[in-house]
A = this chain, B = another copy of it.
Amino acid sequence: MGANPDLTTTVAGLALPNPIIPASGCAGYGREFAKHFELRRLGGLAAKALSLEPRRGNPPPRVAEAAAGMLNAVGLQNPGWDLWAHDELPWMLEQDVILIQNIVGHTVADYVELARRLEGTAVDAIEINLSCPNVADGMSFGAEPDGVEAVTAAVRAVTRKPLWVKLTPQTASIVATAAAAARAGADAVSLINTIPAMVIDVERRRPVLRNNTGGLSGPAIRPVALRMVNEVYRAVAIPIVGIGGIETVEDVVAFLLAGASAVQIGTAALVHPTRPVDLVTDLAVWCRSHGVARVTDLIGALELW
């Protein structure tokens, strides 16, 4: 109990100082958080989605309140590769934080080109967001195993960086899509992205979001995420980054027990800006009080009935 617990973890060979990572889209490129704490205290930073071209994103309103959560339809607003490479990347690299860059595209070729360019940077890992609608068929790349396999394999061919494939829960079987990612050479899967959803303003008879639909995040989706993490952990031999409604240290521990090697904090950090770094402290305290010497001892330690 006396000694400091070892919080380090690895995701497919990528060593992290601890398992707590702010989730993509909920941390920008880290600048706002950096005003309040040193980013290097985090396990890593999953930077906001990056596309080749600049994206203005969706018209507002972009957020709707939901029970134990929220919907967002930001529309992947980002400055595009050129401005990102010029303004954001150098600053992020200076922060000495493990940098996971999330990427999005309209076509497989978009993902490939982004990965190819990232290969020439000092980014630590690439996270591909497969919740984006595929321009070819309108469904998300992540909805079916074929789409996951196609994007993953194409990106894998152009990068040797750790490749995290972020899957959408809106699929018939998360095991099937995670297995497809593994087959195609992913190093890890990030589970889960938001669940497509709608909130209606009954007085105006309109969806609250200008985009009509948005992604549900927050505690509401936590039990779904936890089930998916454990389902994949039991069926697919690939490291997992757990995401979805994580708020407290007990939530972090639950995801680790279910099989996640690291976790990402999204919505909770919007409401409590220092929550990611606070959770690092809380996790150390929890491990100490529970006699856990290494946080990695928790990974997958869930005992099923």
Does A172 reach chain B (CB closer than 8 Å)? yes
Interface centre among A202, A212, A303 (most CB of B within 10 A): A202
A69 and B220 contact, Cβ closer than 8 Å, known pairs A143-B172, A200-B302: yes
A223 and B66 contact, Cβ closer than 8 Å, known pairs A202-B254, A207-B305: yes
Contact present for A68 and B199 (CB under 8 Å) = no
In angstroms, Cα B304 to Cα A173, docked, is: 30
Give this chain's copy count: 2
Does A183 reach chain B (CB closer than 8 Å)? no
Which residue of chain B has the shortest Cβ distance to A252 in the bound complex? B202
Measured between beta carbons, the chain B residues less than 8 angstroms from A253 are: 202
Contact present for A223 and B219 (CB under 8 Å) = no
Does A1 reach chain B (CB closer than 8 Å)? no
Interface segment, one of A29-37, A80-88, A224-232: A224-232
Does A162 reach chain B (CB closer than 8 Å)? no
Interface segment, one of A11-19, A109-117, A190-198, A273-281: A190-198
Contact present for B212 and A67 (CB under 8 Å) = no
Which residue of chain B has the shortest Cβ distance to A138 in the bound complex? B173
Does A71 reach chain B (CB closer than 8 Å)? yes
Contact present for A196 and B224 (CB under 8 Å) = yes
Does A126 reach chain B (CB closer than 8 Å)? no
Does A182 reach chain B (CB closer than 8 Å)? no
In angstroms, Cα B196 to Cα A213, docked, is: 22
Does A53 reach chain B (CB closer than 8 Å)? no
Interface residues, chain A, with chain B CB atoms under 8 Å away: 64, 66-69, 71, 139, 143-144, 170-173, 195-200, 202, 205-207, 209-213, 216, 218-224, 226-227, 230, 245, 250, 253-254, 257-258, 301-305
In angstroms, Cα B256 to Cα A216, docked, is: 21
Contact present for B172 and A207 (CB under 8 Å) = no
Which residue of chain B has the shortest Cβ distance to A216 in the bound complex? B223
Measured between beta carbons, the chain B residues less than 8 angstroms from A172 are: 139, 143-144, 170-172
Q: Given A143-B172, A197-B224, A206-B303, 12 other A-B contacts at CB below 8 A? A: A64-B223, A67-B218, A67-B245, A196-B224, A197-B227, A202-B254, A206-B304, A207-B302, A207-B304, A211-B305, A216-B223, A220-B221
Which residue of chain B has the shortest Cβ distance to A199 in the bound complex? B223
In angstroms, Cα B251 to Cα A199, docked, is: 10
Contact present for B207 and A216 (CB under 8 Å) = no
Q: A295: shortest Cβ distance to chain B, in Å?
A: 13
Measured between beta carbons, the chain B residues less than 8 angstroms from A67 are: 67-69, 218-220, 222, 245
